[in-house]
Amino acid sequence: MYSEGEVTGEEDEASAVTYYQRACDGGEMPGCRNLAWRYKNGEGGLSVDLSKAADLFGQACEGGNASACNNLGVMYADGEVTGEEDETSAVTYYQRACDGDGAWGCDNLAGHFYEGTAGLQSDKTKAAELFRKACSLAHANACTWYGYMAERGEGMADASIETAAEFYEKACELNDSAGCRNLGIFYLDGRDGFLADPEKATQYLNKSCDLQNGDACNILGGAYANGEVTGAEDEATAVTYYQRACDSGKMSGCGYLAWRYKNGEGGLSVDLAKAADLYGQACQGGNAGACNSLGVMYAEGEVTGEEDETSAVTYYERACDGGEMWGCSNLAWYYENGAGGFEVNLGKAADFYKRACESQYGKACRQLAYLSTSEESETLLYYKKACEFEDTIGCVLYSDLVQFENPAERREYMERGCDLERNAHRPGYACEGLASLELVEKNYLEAASISMEHFKAGSSGIYGQNYVHFEPPGSVAIHPDHTRYLQQALKAEGYYSGKIDGDFGPKTMSAIEALCQCQAAAFH
């Protein structure tokens, strides 16, 4: 009562210590434990005395206080008893704590069995049993861990998404933010038998965010930004949650907020100084992507008002060292081009591009292909990797290089690139290349379908040319069969009212211009 301020109206740790000592002297083990805690942390007018704390925790543990056994285990693990970390002794005391129904002891022991640490062999079944016991003792973190194992199908016969949800729910009821977050994600994604339920997802994620889980705040911000909550994009609410994520120490939340200040989104005015500050905060907090973004701002003169390549390079280096492959790729560009105070060093450029490529950054693989001075096989290898790592231009270039030796592979990689562009809602070179391939192979319906995708995206081009370009009537690009399919599609969209006659005339051109909102060149 003295400790909690229930006697005088103010917390009185000194008086509390007096009574804990009397309780301990009288054989009350919780008193010994509470006294040990004060010696360990230097509270209640006591100086830190780890030896005294360990003795008192030991006395309480011997007297049957499970929490004290766990506390002594933690001290052994942290090297506060002998001066060196002693995981073996720690495990012994965690076991004694768990045997005495000490939830923390079960949880700590479960963690070691899960990871196979402290001299224990990894035993997921044993870990699951211990997490479940700790959960039954109302230890929230253990409920979340048991749910996590059930979700991953580890250590139990009844592992399932339903079991995972059951234990995440228990954890959330015990105010474990991770349990609330994980259950919210189930309802947000509609995962494995769970119907997507934005209302429930928001309920659980919001509770997690209220419990200072920055990850949940971030996820909820993304859900609002993507229109997953109300059905419409809500950037203003997203900004609110990104701010909360940032305030709770989630550095990616600071980065998302910075991006919105930089671009004036979510109801925010463009504020480059604020954006730079937030990127700087996130970078200092270990978010490598924010380091790269701040580097870009320096390079573009958005921090000081003048381009500052030296500072840009500093942040690209931090980004690269932190695992952000855009940072490595940007750094490589400086070495390749002799910018930012660097001399041209193609060897270093290749090293940084290779580092990024090996981490599956496709554009870096493509840059390696450009730099390759050895046999064509190496160039092919890097273009192929670029495509496999979702660089659409890499797909196009690889497809072009193999078109004569391997027509089937040419098509495969052009289709792969086009699919990537479609998924990004950005038809480009790969889809243009695929359309040209369909025309050459006289697959006019398929070519027309791809062309329509381009028109809807605001482009009239095939391989960078205007759809209606310099080739005369009768060329492959405007074959009558192809034109008929285009006219049918344009008519179905309400843009063409003329005859389906295969004649690529002014009406067809006007329909394309109306659909793509772009200027199609006249015939030459």
Tokens of 230: 């109300």
CATH number for the domain that contains residue 13: 1.25.40.10
**Position 419 pLDDT exceeds 70:** yes
Q: Does residue 84 form part of some domain? A: yes
pLDDT digits (tens, 9 = 90+) for 114-158: 999 999 999 999 999 999 999 999 999 999 999 999 999 999 998
Tally of domains within the chain: 2
CA distance 423 to 392: 11
CA distance 177 to 175: 6
Q: Which of 128-132, 357-361, 500-504 has the highest mean pLDDT?
A: 128-132
So what's the pLDDT on residue 422? 83
DSSP 411-471: HHHHHHHHHHHHHTT---HHHHHHHHHHHHTT-HHHHHHHHHHHHHTT--EETTEESS-SS
pLDDT digits (tens, 9 = 90+) for 54-63: 999 999 999 9
Query: What's the whole-number mean pLDDT along residues 357-369?
Result: 94
Output the CA angle 152-154-157, nearest 5 degrees: 115
Domain boundary residue among 66, 100, 134? 100
So what's the pLDDT on residue 512? 86
**Position 464 pLDDT exceeds 70:** no
DSSP 300-323: TT-SSSS--HHHHHHHHHHHHHTT
Amino acid occupying residue 155: G
**Gyration radius of the chain over CA positions:** 32
Q: Rounded to the nearest 5°, which phi and psi values hold at 465?
A: -90, 160
Tell me which of 14-23, 136-145, 250-259, 385-394 is least confident: 14-23
So what's the pLDDT on residue 18? 86
Q: Does residue 503 form part of some domain? A: yes
pLDDT digits (tens, 9 = 90+) for 277-327: 999 999 999 999 999 999 999 999 999 999 999 999 999 999 999 999 999
So what's the pLDDT on residue 255? 97
CA distance 304 to 88: 55
Q: Does residue 366 form part of some domain? A: no
So what's the pLDDT on residue 519? 57
Query: What's the whole-number mean pLDDT along residues 389-407?
Result: 91
Domain boundary residue among 78, 100, 122? 100
Of 243 and 43, the structure prediction assigns the larger pLDDT to 243
pLDDT tier at 473, thresholds 50, 70, 90: very low
Q: Does residue 439 form part of some domain? A: yes
Residue keyed to tokens 């940032």: 246
pLDDT tier at 190, thresholds 50, 70, 90: confident
pLDDT tier at 468, thresholds 50, 70, 90: very low
Neighbours of 136 (CB within 10 A): 15
Of 475 and 77, the structure prediction assigns the larger pLDDT to 77
Q: Rounded to the nearest 5°, which phi and psi values hold at 23?
A: -65, -45
So what's the pLDDT on residue 522? 38
Of 233 and 451, the structure prediction assigns the larger pLDDT to 233
**Position 475 pLDDT exceeds 90:** no
Query: What's the whole-number mean pLDDT along residues 403-412?
Result: 90
So what's the pLDDT on residue 2? 60
So what's the pLDDT on residue 477? 55
Q: Return the DSSP state at 155.
A: S
Q: Is the separation of the CB atoms in 324 and 291 below 8 Å?
A: yes
Q: Does residue 344 form part of some domain? A: no
So what's the pLDDT on residue 463? 36
Q: Does residue 43 form part of some domain? A: yes
Q: Does residue 505 form part of some domain? A: yes
Domain boundary residue among 50, 79, 100? 100
Tokens of 112: 């070691």
Percent of the chain topping pLDDT 90 = 74
Question: In sequence order, what are the residues at sequence separation of 6 or more whose Cβ sits closer than 8 angstroms to the Cβ of residue 441?
Answer: none
pTM for the model stands at 0.79
Q: Does residue 229 form part of some domain? A: no
Share the mean pLDDT of the chain. 90
466 lies in which domain range? 427-524
**Position 462 pLDDT exceeds 60:** no
Amino acid occupying residue 342: F
